[in-house]
Amino acid sequence: MIQVKIFYANNDLRNFSYIVYDQNSADCWVIDPYDDEALAHYIKKNHLVLRGILNTHDHWDHIRGNKALESKFNCSVYKSQNELKISPQYSIQVLRTPGHTPEHLCFSWRESGLSKGLFSGDSLFNSGVGNCYRGGNVDDLFDTIQSLKSFPDEMILYPGHDYVYKNLLFAQKWEPENIFIQEALKEVESCSTEEGLLWTLGQERRVNPFLRLESEEIRQNLSSLEKKSSNEIESERIIFKKLRSLRDQW
């Protein structure tokens, strides 16, 4: 059976790294290593065999631990975009997801061909999406998020950072009557988000404004801000880009 171990980096960027391992074979893969010492300690303590590293993109905080892990465990970074077989039953699908960066990837953990988890890097966060500050493109990001919406509600989201509290406050500003956002804020305020929330895409569809572009409340509030009629900003792409711009300044 496949297990996912979450590692939180106690830094200003609030990074998440992950170890995905097969309990039967003890083979494991590291995704976006930040703290190589913590990852190496866990691998050795649990007698795992590190087969390689997966990077969602090449920003330093997602590849920081690469060289040290490659040296300690004589492994390499997986460069292929072919599906990675972990066992006859389990695999990791490599997805091209440009937007945050031109070459950004996401990884879909699959069981018997069914998608179970999404390692989304800086494309999709809990109640938010990535920025496009450093070489990114917001139109590409919109297309990427639209493509990720096709995954099943039951799929667990494993994002690259813990930005959920600030993201929820932003979501509440534009959809204050959304009871699911209110409940999510209460949950986040009462738990340790650094351990990972394990929210599903179904949950995200209820609280993430970038997955809720059809919301009439969001549309009306943006219309009021822009002093335009709602039919002037009816395009979901326009709404997405406006929300991303507003979040940049939040």
Percent of the chain with pLDDT strictly greater than 90: 91
Average pLDDT score, the chain: 95
Please give the pLDDT value at position 228: 59
Please give the pLDDT value at position 134: 86
Please give the pLDDT value at position 232: 56
27 band by pLDDT with thresholds 50, 70 and 90: very high
Q: Would the pLDDT of 148 be above 80?
A: yes
Please give the pLDDT value at position 143: 98
Which two tokens mark 182?
Answer: 């209110």
pLDDT tens, residue by residue, 82-141: 999 988 899 999 999 999 999 999 999 999 989 999 999 999 999 999 999 988 999 999
1 band by pLDDT with thresholds 50, 70 and 90: confident
Please give the pLDDT value at position 185: 98
Percent of the chain with pLDDT strictly greater than 70: 97
- Give all domains of the chain, ordered by start, each with its CATH number: 2-248 (3.60.15.10)
What pTM, to 2 d.p., does this model score?
0.95
Please give the pLDDT value at position 46: 97
Q: Give the phi and the psi of residue 224 in degrees, each rounded to 5.
A: -65, -40
How many angstroms separate the first and last alpha carbons of the chain?
41
Please give the pLDDT value at position 233: 57
pLDDT tens, residue by residue, 199-249: 999 999 999 999 999 999 999 999 888 765 555 557 999 999 999 999 999
